[in-house]
Amino acid sequence: QVQLVESGGGLVQPGGSLRLSCAASGLTLDVYAIAWFRQAPGKDREGASCINSDDSTVYTDSVKGRFTISRDNAKNTVYLQMNSLKPEDTGVYYCAASLLIPTIFRRPVSATEVLDTHKYNFWGQGTQVTVSS
């Protein structure tokens, strides 16, 4: 049974940092692309970042330069380091796994194409991130 479990969320002041973790079981991360999505209250789920099976990455424009995605295949875990957090980063953060995305990454792709929720096979339950003073 595939499980993705997010952790590391919490309450942080604007300008602060958090590191989210996505621990996988029932699948081997090194053949999947793993992405982080987020959903603010009343809004659609949006993609933040993705790391491919070959460690190539994409970021949505709003998080470029502030967020860093990484993976530790030995621990079967993907991380999202979030710095310079803003109130608009508030939401539930989900990690998701895709077998399709590694095939797409063989050609030039946009973040929009990669961060499409329909391309992801497995999802975690989410972790809340709140950025507020």
**Which pLDDT score, from 0 to 100, does residue 108 have?**
82
pLDDT tens by residue, 50-66 = 999 999 999 999 999 99
Q: Sort 46 into a burial class: Cβ within 10 Å, 0-12 / 13-18 / 19+.
A: middle
pLDDT tens by residue, 7-16 = 999 999 999 9
**Which pLDDT score, from 0 to 100, does residue 125 have?**
97
**Which pLDDT score, from 0 to 100, does residue 127 have?**
98
**Which pLDDT score, from 0 to 100, does residue 116 have?**
96
Amino acid at 103: T
Taking 90 as the threshold, does the pLDDT of residue 114 lie above it? Answer: yes
Q: How far apart are CA 18 and CA 85, in angstroms?
A: 8
**Which pLDDT score, from 0 to 100, does residue 91 have?**
98
Residues in Cβ contact with 43 at an 8 Å cutoff, skipping those fewer than 6 apart: 91
